[in-house]
């Protein structure tokens, strides 16, 4: 009996030790059910390639020193710079805690497209730059200009003109392949492009007629024999807006057409013109100029009501408008200085010493991009400004200037 008791106690001790060991293993290798799940938070979840993101981990209301995993790879810091575009899964882990739910961080490839002109000798050539690298659209044997650019699903559309014999021919280029909009029998040019779903709208003129082309088919807007041009297009709820000028026999009148119906913005007493149009929340914004008897005054019209941007003491004009939420951005120049206006307040882009101009503006992810040019000695340098910081596209050896800027954001690398 005593032997059996000893044997029983021995096996009972082994059983107790095994139970304690299993509990210890469970404690060391699995999450403690009494501890809350980790939560990882990123300083941003949508960024541009090259940006840094910081991470913070908590459990309940307590900060936790945990490991951060990016696409299942452990990082060595709570801050990380993402140099490749794509979608990343972020998870926090720490021994003894349930790991966090994954958060998705999107890193975008931002491409900057700028259309304009590069001079080759005495000839102007149509060109656009992608991230600072020029793409020539014409060979320089005949005058040509690129006036506007748009990109959709990787396809690059540029509009402008190229001379044929002694006349400019309205053209556009899709991925570098040229398409003529006119036959050269009359002077013509394309100034604006707008992509709406599968439709391609291009604004310009042929002869003396203001025109836009929808998928290559011309729609005439002006009905007189007086000169008229389209410089900008907008589409809202299927309505087509085109802004420009029309001569009344004495002076040019600023106007726009809605579905072909003209709306005059000025009374025709003083010269005026409309260079840009945008429609937002049903409101129609048009930017341009009107002469005050001695100088051109930069202004915009909201639903036909004029708002002066300059006081008329210096010549000024504006060429582009962009509505970001309720903020109104307009780019142009006053005297010789490139600038833009935000809700009527002027922001200078240059110091005003050299001749400069701002021709196109847009807002992307909170950043303000403006395309234009600035004179350096005797030649114009093509450039754009991002949040006021200049990026030169040319070195001043050849004259160049820009007319339009377009930004794309994708999750794919170059």
239-254 in b/e form (b: 16+ CB < 10 A) is: ebbbbbbbbbeebbbb
Token representation of residue 375: 């004179």
Q: What is the pLDDT of residue 61?
A: 87
Q: What is the pLDDT of residue 378?
A: 85
Task: List, for residues 196-231, the tens digit of each pLDDT value.
Answer: 989 999 999 999 999 999 999 999 999 888 999 999
Q: What is the pLDDT of residue 32?
A: 61
Strands (E), 15-131: 38-42, 46-48, 52-59, 62-63, 67-70, 73-74, 79-81, 86-93, 103-120, 123-130
Q: Can you tell me which residue has the tokens 């800027």? A: 405
Query: What does each C-alpha distance from 299 to 66, 162, 306, 331 come to in angstroms?
Result: 56, 31, 7, 11
Q: What is the pLDDT of residue 314?
A: 97
For the chain, state the CA radius of gyration.
Answer: 31
Q: What is the pLDDT of residue 332?
A: 98
For the chain, which residues score pLDDT lower than 50? 1-28
């Amino acid at each position: 009996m005593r032997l059996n008791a000893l044997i029983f106690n021995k096996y009972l001790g082994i059983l107790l030790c095994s139970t304690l060991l299993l509990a210890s293993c469970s404690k060391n290798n699995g999450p403690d059910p009494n501890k809350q799940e980790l939560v990882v938070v990123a300083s941003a979840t949508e960024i541009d390639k090259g940006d840094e993101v910081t991470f913070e981990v908590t459990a309940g209301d307590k900060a936790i020193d945990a490991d951060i995993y990016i696409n299942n790879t452990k990082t060595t810091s709570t801050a990380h710079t993402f140099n490749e575009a794509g979608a990343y899964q972020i998870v926090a882990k720490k021994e003894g805690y349930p790991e966090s739910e994954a958060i998705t961080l999107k890193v975008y490839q931002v491409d900057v497209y700028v259309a304009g002109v590069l001079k080759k000798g005495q000839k102007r050539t149509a060109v656009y730059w992608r991230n600072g690298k020029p793409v020539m659209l014409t060979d320089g044997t005949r005058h040509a200009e690129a006036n506007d650019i748009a990109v959709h699903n990787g396809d690059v559309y540029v509009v402008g003109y190229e001379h044929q014999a002694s006349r400019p021919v309205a053209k556009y280029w899709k991925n570098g392949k040229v398409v003529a909009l006119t036959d050269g029998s009359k002077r013509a040019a394309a100034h604006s492009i707008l992509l709406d779903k599968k439709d391609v709208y291009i604004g310009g003129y042929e002869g003396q007629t203001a025109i836009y082309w929808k998928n290559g088919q011309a729609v005439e807007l002006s009905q007189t024999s007086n000169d008229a041009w389209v410089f900008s297009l907008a589409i809202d709820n299927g309505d087509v807006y085109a802004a420009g000028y029309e001569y009344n026999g004495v002076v040019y009148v600023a106007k726009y057409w809605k579905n072909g119906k003209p709306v005059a913005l000025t009374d025709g007493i003083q010269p005026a013109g409309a260079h840009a149009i945008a429609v937002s929340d049903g409101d129609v914004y048009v930017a341009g100029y009107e002469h005050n008897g001695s100088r051109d005054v930069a202004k915009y019209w909201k639903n036909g009501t004029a708002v002066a941007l300059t006081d008329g003491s210096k010549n000024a004009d504006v060429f582009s408008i962009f509505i970001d939420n309720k903020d109104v951005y307009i780019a142009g120049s006053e005297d010789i200085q490139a600038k833009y206006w935000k809700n009527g307040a002027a922001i200078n882009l240059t110091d005003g010493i050299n001749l400069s101009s701002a021709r196109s503006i847009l807002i992307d992810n909170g950043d303000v991009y403006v395309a234009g040019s600035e004179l350096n000695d005797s030649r114009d340098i093509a450039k754009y400004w991002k949040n006021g910081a200049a990026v030169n596209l040319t070195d001043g050896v050849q004259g160049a200037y820009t007319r339009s800027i377009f930004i794309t954001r994708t999750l794919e690398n170059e």
